[in-house]
Chains A and B, each alone.
Chain A
Amino acid sequence: MIEFMQSLEIWQILAIKIVFALMMIGAVMTMAGYSVLAERKVSALMQGRLGPNRTVLPIIGSVPIIGPFLQGLGIFQPLADGLKFLFKEEIVPGHVNKIYYYLAPIIALVPALTTMTVLPFGEFFTGAGETIPLMLADLDVGILFILAVSSLGVYGIVLAGWSSNSKYPFLGGIRSSAQMISYELAMGLSLLPIFLWVSKPGVEVSALSLVEIVNSQHQANWLLLVQPVSALIFLIALFAETNRLPFDMPESETDLVGGFHTEYGSFKFGIFFVAEYAHIVIGSAIFTIIFLGGWHFLPWMSDPWPANWVGTILGVGWFLTKTVGLIFFFIWIRWTLPRFRYDQVMDLGWTKLLPLALANLLFYIVLVTWLDQSAL
């Protein structure tokens, strides 16, 4: 692959990369769109309802059996939702700060889409027996990049709250910044034991690389089993970072109308919406990579698929299955738990998760040191 790449002109490499990037954006956006549908369907099912089942496309919908089945699943609903946002009247309240008001949704979406450049989602087996991870950019410090960029998403929310010049969005913005800061710490600290664990003595590659983290779980423990506390803290922090219930402080429609996007309508609101779900998709993918073994089969087992393109497809499929399972978990939690009160969120973040994450880190420092010493 490397040699193949080197034989190309720079513009050819660029073209290939752009095509890949577009495909990736397409995939993530589709998943985001369909997680909105999943959210509506799952919530409906959990509440004894049926959920969206009316939208239909002319030709596909009239195919016997398949058409009505797809309609019942609401497969066409995201299309209708998206179009609705596109064709709605564009209303800008008179009291907003125009520039930042328009900038906010973009700033919310861009980090969500940027993080996916470093997400590995499978591996490609070359004929020569090499395996190449499938990702847009193999960064040595992938996880750091993700932590850094994904926390930029909060600026979109803060900016939206501030530029709207009205009280509810403002409160939403304040809450979200406070929440992000509190949970970012716990999130980062929960990941440190992972790096310690993965970077065994004598390992040359960087343990901050997501591919390394995934491969360390091949034919071995999943990190979820080795470090359940880290996984738990990371998961909780992930919920907080993606503004999902029970932590959807910035939005909390019961006390803040619509939270930070109260003043937003039509497509701008649609972008916020998509950004939220893109965050969930990416978050689930990250959790899968770090704790659930990525595209590798089950803990302690070697991958049952052959080392060729079939294996690649099955691996990617398995990765997607895990990710979708996690997205379901996100939705499931949302329709199970009530929202925390704002002070409870802060309390949980600072007085529970942070000390827990620190204790967890200390424990693994001692453990890893001890293991290293006894291995020598």
Chain B
Amino acid sequence: MAKTVVLERKPLSLSERTYLPQIATGLKTTFSNMFKPKVTLQYPEEKPVIPQNYRGIPTLVKDPNGREKCVSCQLCEFVCPPKAIRITPGEVPEEDLDREHVEKAPQEFEINMLRCIYCGYCQEVCPEEAIFLQQEYSSSGYSREELINKKDKLYELGGVLPDKHYKWDKKKKAELEGNSH
């Protein structure tokens, strides 16, 4: 335990008791502050620097080959605490050679930005690295409907992110070489 030391206060001198010298010092401080550089960020023109790993609006991304990564597993829908995500799964047609072996893709993917709490669980849970909370942070609209991001909007916001695995390409290659699992 730290010992409390009571300091004796020195009695104020006469000039201190008038407060005037102190007021003058204060005035000097505030005056010199007027000429210091300002910290204001002129928002719409100047944007703040977004740090790494910032959690902005959740978006869907494509891989560098322009392929949809989401396989509609609905894990994100399941994990999302405020139930902001709603997925309508759809099938990937056999003929789509680009996406062989992928069975499903979202037919519709909705994220309700009025519900989303930017927790990032969806990004964490996604097995396909298809959903990311990126740097975009401002979303606004005139109606509730406008604030439900649809699939095309999500892809537009998400864009293309580099892919380390090309999971489905590997799978295709493996099958061609004869060891499909």
Contacts and interface: CB of A to CB of B under 8 A. Distances in A.
Interface in B5-52: 23, 26-27, 29-31, 33-34, 36-40, 42
Contacts of A42: 34
B20 to A, nearest CB: 8
Contact of B39 (A46, A49, A332, A337): A49
Interface string A330-369: 0011011100000000000000000000000000000000
A49 B40 contact: yes
Contacts of B42: 50
- Category for how many chain A residues contact B: 10 to 19
B56 to A, nearest CB: 26
Contacts of A46: 30-31, 33-34
A45 B27 contact: no
Contacts of A47: 33
A48 B26 contact: no
B179 to A, nearest CB: 65
Contacts of B34: 42, 45-46
A50 B36 CA distance: 11
Interface in A28-54: 42, 45-50
A46 B35 CA distance: 8
Contacts of B29: 336
A49 B40 CA distance: 5
The 10 nearest A-B residue pairs measured at CB: A45-B34, A50-B40, A336-B26, A336-B30, A46-B30, A48-B39, A46-B33, A49-B40, A50-B38, A336-B27
Interface in B66-103: none
A95 to B, nearest CB: 37
A332 B33 contact: no
Nearest to B18: A352
- Category for how many chain B residues contact A: 10 to 19
Nearest to B29: A336
Contacts of B27: 332-333, 336
9 contacts: A45-B38, A46-B31, A46-B33, A48-B33, A48-B40, A49-B39, A336-B23, A336-B29, A337-B26
Interface of A: 42, 45-50, 332-333, 335-337
B30 A48 contact: no
Contacts of B31: 46, 332
Interface of B: 23, 26-27, 29-31, 33-34, 36-40, 42
A48 to B, nearest CB: 5
A345 B30 CA distance: 23
Given A46-B34, A48-B40, A336-B30, 19 more contacts: A45-B33, A45-B34, A45-B38, A46-B30, A48-B33, A48-B38, A48-B39, A49-B38, A49-B39, A50-B38, A50-B40, A50-B42, A332-B27, A332-B30, A333-B27, A335-B30, A336-B29, A337-B23, A337-B26
A341 to B, nearest CB: 14
A88 to B, nearest CB: 23
A232 to B, nearest CB: 8
Contacts of A333: 23, 27
A32 B85 CA distance: 54
A48 B42 CA distance: 13
A48 B36 contact: yes
B67 to A, nearest CB: 45
A335 B32 CA distance: 13
A336 B23 CA distance: 8
Contacts of A335: 30
A190 B178 CA distance: 105
Nearest to B36: A48
Contacts of A336: 23, 26-27, 29-30
A335 B26 CA distance: 10
B87 to A, nearest CB: 42
Nearest to B28: A336
A42 B42 CA distance: 18
Contacts of A332: 27, 30-31
A46 B38 CA distance: 9
Nearest to A47: B33
A147 to B, nearest CB: 25
Nearest to A352: B18
A46 B30 CA distance: 6
A50 B37 CA distance: 10
A332 B40 CA distance: 20
A335 B34 CA distance: 11
B39 to A, nearest CB: 5
Q: In the complex, which of the residues A48, A333, A335, A336 has the most CB atoms of chain B within 10 Å of its own CB atom?
A: A336
Contacts of A50: 38, 40, 42
Contacts of B39: 48-49
A75 to B, nearest CB: 18
A240 to B, nearest CB: 15
